[in-house]
């Protein structure tokens, strides 16, 4: 695992330390890694949304659409009813 040093103003350092304590992280590194993972997921979701917007006409989001979606989810392998 690589090491990266980050300089923070005192107020941010105190915030990180409080988050580590209050949210049960073992170290400040664990907290920062979680923030980075969330940002990666957010960036990936944004890419998927942009790709979807450019993929053509979408479906009308009415009651029938959500009924079909619910049926597909319930039929999916590993779905516990």
* Residue 73 falls inside a structural domain: no
* Residue 62 falls inside a structural domain: no
* Residue 64 falls inside a structural domain: no
* Residue 33 falls inside a structural domain: yes
Kindly report, residue by residue over 4-63, the tens digit of the pLDDT. 999 999 999 999 999 999 999 999 999 999 999 999 999 999 999 999 989 988 878 999
Q: Which domain holds residue 42?
A: 9-54
Taking CB atoms within 8 Å and a gap of at least 24, the contacts of 60-66 are none
Q: What is the pLDDT of residue 56?
A: 87
* Separation CA 44–CA 50 (nearest Å): 10
* Residue 81 falls inside a structural domain: no
Structure tokens at 16: 């990180």
With beta carbons less than 8 A apart as the criterion, state whether 39 and 45 touch.
no
* Residue 4 falls inside a structural domain: no
* Residue 67 falls inside a structural domain: no
What is the domain count for the chain? 1
* Residue 69 falls inside a structural domain: no
């Amino acid at each position: 695992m690589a090491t990266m040093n980050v300089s923070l103003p005192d107020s941010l350092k105190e915030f990180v330390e409080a988050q580590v304590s209050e949210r049960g992280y073992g170290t400040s590194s664990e907290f920062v890694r979680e923030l980075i993972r969330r940002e990666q997921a957010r960036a990936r979701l944004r890419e998927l949304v942009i790709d979807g917007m450019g993929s053509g006409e979408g479906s009308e989001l009415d009651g029938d659409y959500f009924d079909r979606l619910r049926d597909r989810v319930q039929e999916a392998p590993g779905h516990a009813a």
